Amino acid sequence: MHAWEQIQKTLEVIEENLKQPPDINELAKTAALSPFYYQRLFSRLVKKPVAEYIKQRRLSVSLPLLAEGEDRILDIALNLGFSSHEHFTRCFKESFGLTPEEYRKAPRMLHHISKPELLLNYVLVDEGVPLITDGIVLEVNRKTLEEDVCYIGLSLVAQMGGAPMGDTPMGDAPIGDAPTGKNDTQEDDIFTATGEDPMAALWDKLHSEKESIPAVKPQASELGVMYGADKPGYYTYFAGAKAQGSFEEGALPEGFEVYTLKAGQYAVCGFEAENFEALVTEALFKATNYLYEMFLPGHKLSAEPFCAEVYERHDEDTTYMELWMKLKD
């Protein structure tokens, strides 16, 4: 058994026993390691100490329970292993920037910690071969975009949660034309490992206003693209809908701009998840990591510092999307 498989086994045990997971000694025994080496290996592979990971998973599991509103907050806290309402509230606010009560009154998309699928870091598949693991099915193929495609939408600038700039999804520059238009890009600083998702509000605004643009048809496909911003430590995120026919940039509604996806060869990763929230959080995170950390290096491919999310529509009924990465010549 590989080392990652030993740690994955304990991740499953933790997930099944979040209220009262086994102690370090029992987890180490499950992994057939000493407690010392188990904790070192866990932190290396999961990127968090065991106790912090358990706390963050409890908080993540609490989100849908709070949104449903059926159970008392105290009951949710105790059932997930928190010692009191106060303890739960303190941990929740430290991670997400608001209290459980505030979240229950107005549920929103929050960055949270999902259960890792370590297989995605160690198993390399060929093009066109599906990779199936718990919670995600993905497949990577090469596609050629014969001509430029324009998208009309909105953008924001937000602070990165420690992610590097460069040859990553949040690279130094976009592929093709940066968005053009009248928008003084909104600046935000809440993109962290956990916390409120600034992109969700951007998509909501796009959907509420895009009907005012004649060049955007109701069933137009939609694109989200992330790339580096001019300000160090920040990224730009654009959300838009595919334009059809001719249009005048100067006639677009206030704040709207144009992004051009350039023609060329792309690595395209299609994947699906059980529901929309899982698709745009856990599945998107896992698929992106797999592409940049495993698939591209494993096949000796290099992509431009740019990553586009392509949806038939970015809404609650969607369970499939694609990541498009332009390959370097």
Evaluated on CA atoms 62, 115, 139, 193, the torsion sign reads positive
268 shares a domain with 224 = yes
The per-residue pLDDT for 161 is: 56
Last-in-domain residue among 79, 111, 143: 111
| Domain-embedded: residue 121 | no
Facing residues of 195 across strands? Answer: 111
Residue ranges of the alpha helices (H) in the chain? 3-16, 24-30, 35-46, 50-68, 73-79, 85-96, 100-105, 198-209, 276-278, 284-290, 296-298
Per-residue pLDDT at 164 exceeds 70: no
145 shares a domain with 77 = no
Half-sphere exposure of 275 (CA within 13 A, CB side): 3
| Domain-embedded: residue 310 | yes
Instruction: Give the rounded distance of the alpha carbon of 140 from its chain centre.
Output: 18
Mean local confidence (pLDDT), 149-159: 92
Last-in-domain residue among 81, 111, 141: 111
Q: For the chain, report the end-to-end CA distance as a whole number of angstroms.
A: 39
Nearest to 197 by CA among 110, 272, 267, 135: 110
Report how many domains make up the chain.
Answer: 2
37 shares a domain with 81 = yes
Nearest to 175 by CA among 252, 300, 265: 265
Mean local confidence (pLDDT), 77-84: 96
190 shares a domain with 282 = yes
Q: Which residues of 54-75 are buried (b: 16+ CB within 10 A; e: fewer)?
A: bbbbbbbbbbebbeeeeeebee
Mean local confidence (pLDDT), 160-183: 42
Residue 188, CA distances (Å) to 23, 44, 173, 212 in order:
40, 30, 19, 26
The per-residue pLDDT for 253 is: 86
Mean local confidence (pLDDT), 186-208: 66
164 shares a domain with 310 = yes
Among 157-161, 178-182, 228-232, 273-277, where is mean pLDDT lowest?
Answer: 178-182
- Is-contact 179 151, C-beta < 8 A? no
The per-residue pLDDT for 120 is: 83
Last-in-domain residue among 111, 143, 178: 111
Per-residue pLDDT at 163 exceeds 60: no
* Domain with 102 in it: 3-111
Residue 125 one-letter amino acid: V
Half-sphere exposure of 167 (CA within 13 A, CB side): 11
Mean pLDDT comparison of 3-7, 50-54, 283-287, highest-scoring range: 50-54
141 shares a domain with 85 = no
178 shares a domain with 317 = yes
If phi > 0 it is left, if psi is from -120 to 50 it is alpha, else beta; for residue 299 that is alpha
CATH number of domain containing 74: 1.10.10.60
87 shares a domain with 31 = yes
The per-residue pLDDT for 329 is: 78
The per-residue pLDDT for 222 is: 96
282 shares a domain with 143 = yes
| Domain-embedded: residue 217 | yes
Among 10-24, 104-118, 124-138, where is mean pLDDT lowest?
Answer: 124-138
151 shares a domain with 25 = no
| Domain-embedded: residue 246 | yes
The residue behind tokens 């303890």 is 87
Per-residue pLDDT at 40 exceeds 70: yes
271 shares a domain with 139 = yes
Mean local confidence (pLDDT), 291-295: 90
CATH number of domain containing 304: 3.20.80.10
- pTM score of the predicted model: 0.67
| Domain-embedded: residue 122 | no
| Domain-embedded: residue 126 | no
Rounded CA Rg of the chain: 21
The per-residue pLDDT for 218 is: 85
Angle between helices 50-68 and 85-96 (to 10 degrees): 100
Residue 67 one-letter amino acid: A
* Two structure tokens written together for 308: 């586009």
